[in-house]
């Protein structure tokens, strides 16, 4: 989802990852329109539960995978600032202002310390990526990250600052992505895995339907400690491990079904950050205007129509024309804000010299 994964000259984008990011962002948008409707449909809430088990873990694992090279080099820090920190500041300001004017809520606070709605992911991604050198240094990064997540699940005093509960409870998925290699994604794309994913997902849907009246769906958001969910403290670590196992299983099934070749939507995978941050304004506008209160939307045909509309809308928001319009906010250049890095200038000179040598050799 991050703009950090933009293609570079001479580098071919991997269609599999772009396809996965696009399909995951469509599921995110669907989940957001299901949220105000699911209370009237046990089937819809069961599907919602299953989707929330894997769609963000899939995004986060891919984000971790593409963060493996992060090492605090000046050019990479610049991209982290311009592609993650700056969009966070802009949208963390824009969403509350939007609520102030559209929902007539002049008292709505603007706080960069309390991520609002969708911006938590940018805040989390910044923290995860900054700590990447640590996870690459320690001997057992994934068990350590799981331990951190388990401890967070029993610490309600962490509070809402920077949405640290989510940052810490989703941390294992990012660290897992850091530990993965290309061949690990190839393993789940074998034919037998794709076939096995069918009964696994079918079973997950049945379990999701069964769990609706028996389980608090807030566990899937990873934003609260066990005590805040009126559960015994020991259930926090247990649920972290259980959710991690279930999420990995369904994420593997999701990756197994993602096409590896170029599709009509492959290019949209480069714009998932745009779709993610922009579709939230439409969802919130609908909530403020009471669109989701219409009785027709709480019937099966209405739910299907809203689902298709959400998929079409987020698809449109990932397209190149939309990205050109909003690039100033998502991928600002900001060369004026940074000093010239001597090492980067030296690399640029070397690159130009190699290009001149190739031209000379060709002549």
Task: Report if pTM > 0.75.
Answer: yes
What confidence score (pLDDT) does residue 116 get?
86
| pLDDT tens digits, one per residue of 151-193 | 999 999 887 888 999 999 999 999 999 999 988 999 998 999 9
Model confidence pLDDT, tens digit, residues 217-235: 889 899 899 999 999 999 9
**Considering Cα of 355, then 77, then 118, then 52, what sign does the dihedral take?**
positive
Residue 5 is predicted with a pLDDT of: 47
Model pLDDT for residues 11-61, shown as the tens digit of each residue = 568 899 999 999 999 999 999 999 999 888 899 999 999 999 999 999 999
The confidence score (pLDDT) of residue 343 equals 66
Q: What CA–CA distance (Å, rounded) separates 63 from 121?
A: 11
Q: CB–CB of 80/103 below 8 Å?
A: no
């Amino acid at each position: 989802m991050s703009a950090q994964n933009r293609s570079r000259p001479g580098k071919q984008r991997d269609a599999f990852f772009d396809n996965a990011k696009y399909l995951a962002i469509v599921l995110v948008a669907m989940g957001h329109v299901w949220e105000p409707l699911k209370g009237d449909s046990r089937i819809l809430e069961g599907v919602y539960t299953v989707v929330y088990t894997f769609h963000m873990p899939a995004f986060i694992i891919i984000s971790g995978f593409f963060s493996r090279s992060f090492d605090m080099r000046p050019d990479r820090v610049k991209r982290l600032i311009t592609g993650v920190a700056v969009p966070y500041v802009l949208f963390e300001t824009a969403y509350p202002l939007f609520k102030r004017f559209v929902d007539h809520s002049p008292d709505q606070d603007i706080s960069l310390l309390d991520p609002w709605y969708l911006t938590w992911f940018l805040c989390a991604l910044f923290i995860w990526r900054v700590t990447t050198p640590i996870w690459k240094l320690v001997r057992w990064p994934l068990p350590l990250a799981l331990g951190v997540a388990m401890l967070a699940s029993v610490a309600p005093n962490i509070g809402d600052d920077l949405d640290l509960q989510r940052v810490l409870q989703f941390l294992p998925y990012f660290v897992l992505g850091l530990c993965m290699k290309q061949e690990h994604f190839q393993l789940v794309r074998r034919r037998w895995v794709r076939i096995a994913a069918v009964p696994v997902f079918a079973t997950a849907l049945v379990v999701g339907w069964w769990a609706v009246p028996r389980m608090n769906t807030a566990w899937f958001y990873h934003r609260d400690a066990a005590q805040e969910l009126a559960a015994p403290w020991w259930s926090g670590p247990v649920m972290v491990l259980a959710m991690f196992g279930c999420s990995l299983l369904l994420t593997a099934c999701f990756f197994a079904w993602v096409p590896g070749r170029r599709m009509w939507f492959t290019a949209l995978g480069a714009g998932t950050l745009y779709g993610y941050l922009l579709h939230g304004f439409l969802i919130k506008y609908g909530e403020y205007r009471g669109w989701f209160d219409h009785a027709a939307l709480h019937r099966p045909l209405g739910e299907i129509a809203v689902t298709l509309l959400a998929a079409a809308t987020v698809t449109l928001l990932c397209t190149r024309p939309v990205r050109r319009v909003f690039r100033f906010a998502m991928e600002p250049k900001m060369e004026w804000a940074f000093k010239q890095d001597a090492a980067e200038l030296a690399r640029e000179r070397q690159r130009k010299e190699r290009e001149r040598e190739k031209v000379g050799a060709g002549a």
